[in-house]
Amino acid sequence: MLPVLQIGPAAIQLPGLLLIAGVWLGSLLAERQARRLGLSGDGIERLILVALVAGVLGARLGYAVRFLEVYARDPLALLALTPVTLAPEVGVAIGLIAAWVYGQRRRMPFWLTVDAMAPGVAAFAVCLALAHLASGDAFGAPTGVPWAIVLWGMPRHPSQIYELLAALVVLVLVLRLHPGAPFPGFAFGALVAFSAAARLVLDAFRGDSVMWFGTLRAAQVISLAILLGSLAVLRRLTQPSADAGS
Amino acid sequence: MYGLSGARGRLLMAAVFVLGSAWILATRPAEGGVTSGAIPSPREGFAAPEVDLERLNGDRVRLSDLRGQVVVLNVWASWCPPCRAEMPALQALHEHRAGQGVVVLGVNSTVQDSEQAARDFASEYGLTFPIALDRDGEATRLYQVRALPSTFFIDQQGIIRRVVVGGPLNPSVLETTVLDLLGEGG
């Protein structure tokens, strides 16, 4: 665990740096994949940029709406350079909507475009796991297994390592798929299915799970739903009548 | 194709549903298997480690005595520029919220500073909130402080709810986080 890299007087937040590296690497892979699929690499780059900018703005505004009185008193706080005052769930939703609108306006083929994003998203997931490793977030449940690591006061499953290994396996699987084959949407659908399956399995070893009804791990239930949903979409896309390229 | 179409696809989905549900049920955590807040550790969701330190004015301050109030525990040193930059915001928070169940607790990392420098610093910035002296570095170690300043937002139950490493803190971070915690406290 290394949350802060102290270089002289500068305290660099390593998890944040890793996430930025993930965005950069993800964009690079998405752009490359787009060209292999016969799409415009620049178009994908702009799409990612639009999603990121809209996502960050949306996350800040989403947070500010909760504390209107504070931000009305000090509107410049909207521009504060801190990740603390963001509402991530709002940001993700706004970013996805902005990307969808941009893609529609530019008439980008939906399934090929999300296929182009698949290796990039998988690479970002690897960097996210590294960020968790650096920060100690997404930590494991207490355990007595010989490979336990002492973290946050007790021996725990090295859940960040499990997450990293799973993300690497998913990345390799996605990179091994032939671009656009066997049908548009397959690579992205497979990425979502693999990732959901990995989370479904690995969340069992997490020590920070949000619980539903006091007994079920929310992430596992959601992952199973996403896994089944992605399989259903893939099934739909295999039907000859599916409008796969649109 | 890929075993997804027709009857094989339906069978696959049914198998995934059954196996997935069985896995979820089989791996339900035992009590205390997920963060319960009972373990003292310097991160979100965990109980704030106890500190019992002497204040600049000679009194003692013990974190557990502040239970029931929102505590903003700020670790600082006089030589640290971002610590200096954020002190006015912490003092303003103390002035506005002290009567509303909010305690700003400054912890001078005296082990890497000096008592006199801390005293001069408090006087220079007109700080009126309690300032504790971490002479032997115990609090700095317990809170795993790797960079100064570091700020820990602790709720009324003594659970750390937010950690901000580095600074200076934007006043909006202080104000909104404290409002959030006060709102939860009822």
Report ipTM (2 d.p.).
Answer: 0.84
CATH of the domain at B151: 3.40.30.10
Longest CA pairwise span in chain A (Å):
62
Instruction: Quote the crossing angle between the two packed helices A110-135 and A14-36, to the nearest 10°.
Output: 160
Number of domains comprising chain B? 2
Helix (H) or strand (E) holding A179: none
Q: State how many domains chain A has.
A: 2
Of A63, A80, A108, the residue at which a domain comes to its end is A108
Per-residue pLDDT of A125-168, as tens digits, reads 999 999 999 988 899 998 999 999 998 878 999 999 999 999 99
Residues B23 and B97 reside in one and the same domain: no
Same-domain status, A132 and A237: yes
* B21-34 pLDDT tens trace: 999 999 998 776 67
The verdict on residue B75 lying in a domain is yes
| Mean pLDDT in residue range A32-48 | 93
Q: Please state the rounded mean pLDDT for residues B48-53.
A: 95
Same domain? A99 vs A176: no
* Residue A52 identity: L
**Pair B1, B82 in one domain:** no
| Chain B residue with the nearest C-alpha to that of A151 | B41
> Could you tell me if B25 and B63 lie in one domain?
no
Q: What is the mean pLDDT of residues B63-71?
A: 96
Name the closest residue on chain A to residue B41, using Cα atoms: A152
Domain that residue B142 falls in:
52-184
Helix (H) or strand (E) holding A86: none
How does pLDDT run across B134-167, given as a tens digit for each residue?
A: 999 999 999 999 889 999 999 999 999 999 988 8
pLDDT of A244 above 50: no
Helix, strand, or coil here: B5? coil
CA dist., res. A221 & res. A226, Å (int): 9
Q: Nearest CA to B10 among A191, A244, A235, A224?
A: A235
Choose the final residue of a domain: A73, A108, A143: A108
Confidence (pLDDT) at A243: 47
Q: Which of residues 98-137 of A touch B (CB under 8 A)?
A: 136
pLDDT value of position A246: 42
Cα distance from N-terminal residue to C-terminal residue, chain A: 45
Give the residue from A110, A106, A102, A117 showing the smallest Cα distance to A245. A110
Nearest to B16 among A11, A70, A227 (CB): A227
User: What residue numbers bound the domain in which A46 lies?
Assistant: 40-108
* Shared-domain flag, residues A218 and A126: yes
Contact A67, B175 (CB under 8 A): yes
Q: Residue B154 is encoded by which pair of tokens?
A: 């602790």
Which of B40, B164, B179 lies at the smallest CB-CB distance from A84? B164
A100 and A157 part of one domain: no
For residue A86, pLDDT beyond 70: yes
CA distance B147 to chain A (A): 7
Let me know if residue A17 belongs to a domain.
Answer: no
For residues B101 and B63, membership in a common domain is answered with yes
- Test A217 with B28 for CB contact under 8 angstroms: yes
Question: Which pTM value belongs to this model?
Answer: 0.83
* Whether B60 and B108 share a structural domain: yes
Could you list the beta-strand ranges (E) of B77-149: 102-108, 131-133
